[in-house]
Chains A and B, each alone.
Chain A
Amino acid sequence: MSSQAISIRDLHKHFGDIHAVQGISLDVQQGEIFSLLGPNGAGKTTAISILSCLLEPTQGDALVMGHSVTRESAAVRAVIGVVPQDVALYPDLTARENLLFWGKMYGLRGRPLAARVDEVLETIGLTDRQKGRVDTFSGGMKRRVNIGVALLHRPQVIYMDEPTVGIDPQSRRNILDSVKELNRQGMTVLYTTHYMEEAEELSDYIAIMDHGKVIAYGTHPELVRIVGEQDRITLTTSGDYDGLLDRWRRLDGVSRVSTEGEDTVTLLATDGNIILPRVFEEATRAGVRIASVQVQEPNLEAVFLHLTGRALRD
C-alpha cells in the first residue's frame, strides 16, 4: 500500500466564473502534518471541502488513503475526521450529548461509544463540563468540542480548517498542542491556516496557496530559501510616503517594497541592520517621519510577500 495519505491531482473547482481552486496537485505522506497556508479567499476551504466529499471537483481527483473522493466518497468519509472552520455543534445539546450523537454518525454504538466519548472528553479537557450545554461554553471550549467530534472514530486522516480563528491565546496554544499530540499518535493532519506562525510551528510540509493555486510547496526551510537570506523590514510612517517608495526601491540590497494599509510599508532586504540607516536617511530627505520599525529574519510571511507582492493578511 502506498504511504501517501492524500494524493491530489490537477484539482479544479469553479463556481460560475469564480475559479476557487485552479489545478492543485499535492501529496501528503501518512503521519505528516501538512499545512495549507494562504490568505482568506486563497481556496484552502474549497480544497478541504472537496477532500471531505462536500463538493464535487470540476476537474481532477484526489485519493485519500487510496480512495477516490469522486468515486468512493463513502470510503473516504469513513477514514477522515473534519474540524470545520466554524464551530459546527448543536448549541442546545450538552458536550457529551454532542459527542454521543456524532459518534453514532460515525457508526459507534453502545459501550464502545460511551468509552470513546469519555476518552475524547479527557483529551479535550472537558470531562468536568461534559454536562454543560454547548451554548454556555466559551469560544475556546466550543473549539475543543469541535475538534473532539472529529476524533471520535479514530480517523486515519484529520482535516483542520483554521481551527484557531477567533479564540484566545491560551485556547490556541491548547489546540496547537493537541494537533501535535494527534500527529504523535500517528494521525495524518491536513491543517489550513492564514497564520504563518502556526504553519511554521506545526508543519512537516507547507503548501502556500493564493488565488486557488499552490504557489510554493516544501518544508519550512525549503520555502524560506526561496527568498534567500532576506530580512523583512516593516515600517510605520506618518505623512505621505508615495514619493519615498521609489527612493527605497533604488537602495542597494532592497529587493521589494510593498505597502500595507495607509501607513505601513514592508521592505525585503539582504541585511536589515545595514540597510536601515539609509532607509531613515531617505525618509528624512522626503520629510516622512518613521514612527516604528520592525526587522524580521526570513520567514513564510516574507516568502508570501516575495511571491505575491502582498502581505499574507491582505
Chain B
Amino acid sequence: MKLLDIALKDMTRHFRSAFGLVMMFVAPLLVTGLIALAFGGLAGDGGFSLPQTRVVVADQDEGGDAGFRAGGLLLDAMNDPDMASYMVVSTAADPAAARQAVELREADVAVIIPPDLSAAVTTHDGSAVVEIVHDPTLTLGPGLVKAVVDGVVDAFNGARIATHVTAAQLAEQGLPGDRVVGQVAMRYAEWVQAQGAERDRGEYAAIAIQPPPGVADDVSLGARIIGTIAVGMVLFFVFFTAASTAESIVREDEEGTLARLFTTPTSRSTILAGKLLAVGLTLIVQTIVLILLARLIFGISWGRPLAVTMVLLGTIVAAAGFGVCVMSFVQNTRQSGPVMGGVLTVSAMLGGLMTTGIPNLPAALTTVTLFTPHGWALHAWKLAMEGAAAGALVAPLLVLLGYGAALFGVGVIRFRRRFA
C-alpha cells in the first residue's frame, strides 16, 4: 500500500508541473503537427494539399488519318475536371510563346506538343518528342504534369503496340488486316477508357490496392506519413518523461525528503520500488493519452489492439529502465538537465527517432538503431502501424523487455548502493 502511496504522490507532483505536462503531452503533438505542416499542410481529409500548377500548352499537332489528333487527346487529359484542383491549363500560340510564359513566370510548366505526334502514334515505327519546360525551382507541379503526359503517351504506345502485334500476326497467316487492325485499335481505346472510368469510380479491375490488414482503411496517406513522424516524436518524449520522472529520486535526495522517508517505518526497498512504479504508471498514462490524441488529431492508425498493447508494454518497460539507469548516474539536479538533454538526444538520434520521415536510410544506420532501445521501440511501432499481427511483435517485445530489465537492473543496483 505504501508503494502505491509513494507512486501516486510522485505522479501528483509530476502532473502538477506545467513543464512536465508540456513535455509529456503538448510537445510531442506540437512538434508532429509543425513537421506535418512544414511538409505541405493537412487537407480536410487528412491528406496533403498541393499548390495549383499553371500549365501552358503549345499544341502543334497536325493530326493524322480520319481526323485523329493525339495532341487534342493529351490536352483533354490535362483539362480533366479531376485535375482542376491541381493544374490550370491555358494554350499558347507557339512553342516560343509557351517557353516565354515560363521564363516570365506567367506559367509554371510549358508542354510543347510536336506537329508529328499523331503521325508518330499511328505508325508503328514513328517517334515524336513531347517537350516539358518548367521553372527549375519547382518539383511537385512539373512532376504531376509529367505524370499526366506520361500516362497519355503510354496509352498511345499501348494502342500502337496492340495494333502492330495484331497486324503482324494477321500478316503471318496471310490475312488482310487493315479492317481488323482498326477494330483492335478501337477496342483498345474503349478498354483504356473503361479503365479510366473504373478508376474514377474507385474500382480497380487490374490492381487492387488495399491497406495492410489491421490498418483502418479510412486512414489517409497523409495520416500514414504523419504517423511515421508522430511515432518518433512520441517515443522521444516518452523516453524523456521516463528520465524526468526518475529524476524525482535525485530531487528528493536534494530536498531532504528522501532522507526523511528513510526515518519512517517504511523499508528502503518499498520507497525505491514506489518511485520506480511512479515512472511506469506515468508512462502508461502518457503513452495512452498520446496515442488517443494522435488518433483524434491526425487520424493516425497505430495498428491492431493486441499489437499496440504489446508494443506499448515493451516501450514502457524499456523507457522506464532507460530513465532509471540514466538517472542513477546523476548526482544532483544540476547535472540532470545536461545529462538528460545530451544522453536522450544522442540516443534518440542513434535510435532513428529523428529520421523517421526519411525513407530508405542507409543499411548501416538502420543497423545502428537496433543497438538502442529507442530503435527497437521504433521498429516495433512501425510493425504495428503496418498492421503486423501479435506474432510478428513477439521478438521486438522480448528485446524491449530485455533492454528494460537490464537497464532497470543497473539503475536499481546503483541507487541501492547509493542509498544503502
Contact = CB atoms under 8 A, between A and B. Distances in A.
B250 to A, nearest CB: 15
Nearest to B14: A92
A97 B257 CA distance: 14
Contacts of B267: 74
B260 A84 contact: yes
Given A90-B13, A105-B266, A107-B265, A84 B259 contact: yes
Contacts of A53: 262-263
B81 interface: no
Contacts of A149: 260
A139 to B, nearest CB: 15
B304 to A, nearest CB: 40
Interface stretch (A20-28, A75-83, A217-225): A75-83
A52 B263 CA distance: 6
Contacts of B257: 88-90
Nearest to A104: B5
A101 B5 contact: yes
A74 B336 CA distance: 32
A93 B9 CA distance: 9
B369 to A, nearest CB: 37
Interface residues of B, number: 20
Given A54-B262, A78-B265, A82-B263, A88 B9 contact: no
B14 to A, nearest CB: 9
A80 B9 CA distance: 23
A191 interface: no
A104 B274 CA distance: 13
B100 interface: no
A92 B2 contact: no
B123 interface: no
A88 B256 contact: yes
Contacts, number: 57
Given A53-B263, A105-B261, A106-B264, A86 B16 contact: no
Given A84-B256, A88-B255, A92-B17, A54 B5 contact: no
Contacts of A92: 13, 16-17
Nearest to A52: B263
A230 B135 CA distance: 103
Contacts of B16: 92
A53 B261 CA distance: 11
Nearest to A82: B263
B12 interface: yes
A97 B267 CA distance: 21
Contacts of A82: 260, 263
B259 A88 contact: yes
B256 A87 contact: yes
Interface in A78-135: 78, 80, 82, 84, 86-93, 97, 101-102, 104-107, 109
A80 B263 contact: yes
Contacts of A102: 260, 264
B273 to A, nearest CB: 14
Nearest to A149: B260
Given A86-B256, A88-B255, A93-B9, A54 B2 contact: no
Contacts of A106: 264-265
Given A92-B17, A93-B9, A105 B2 contact: yes
B259 A54 contact: yes
Contacts of A105: 2, 5, 261, 264-266
Given A92-B16, A93-B12, A105-B2, A54 B263 contact: yes
A91 B17 CA distance: 12
A104 B9 CA distance: 11
B258 to A, nearest CB: 9
A106 to B, nearest CB: 6
B248 to A, nearest CB: 10
A80 B263 CA distance: 8
B269 to A, nearest CB: 12
Given A88-B257, A101-B5, A77 B13 contact: no
A231 to B, nearest CB: 41
Contacts of B5: 101, 104-105
B265 to A, nearest CB: 4
Nearest to A53: B263
B256 A104 contact: no
B223 to A, nearest CB: 38
A104 B12 contact: no
Interface string B75-90: 0000000000000000
The 10 closest A-B pairs by CB, nearest first: A88-B256, A105-B264, A88-B260, A82-B263, A78-B265, A52-B263, A77-B265, A104-B5, A88-B257, A86-B256
Interface of B: 1-2, 5, 9, 12-13, 16-17, 255-257, 259-267
Given A92-B17, A104-B1, A105-B266, 4 more contacts: A74-B267, A77-B263, A84-B260, A88-B255
Interface of A: 52-54, 74, 77-78, 80, 82, 84, 86-93, 97, 101-102, 104-107, 109, 149
13 contacts: A52-B263, A77-B265, A82-B260, A84-B259, A84-B260, A88-B259, A89-B255, A90-B255, A90-B257, A93-B13, A102-B264, A104-B2, A109-B1
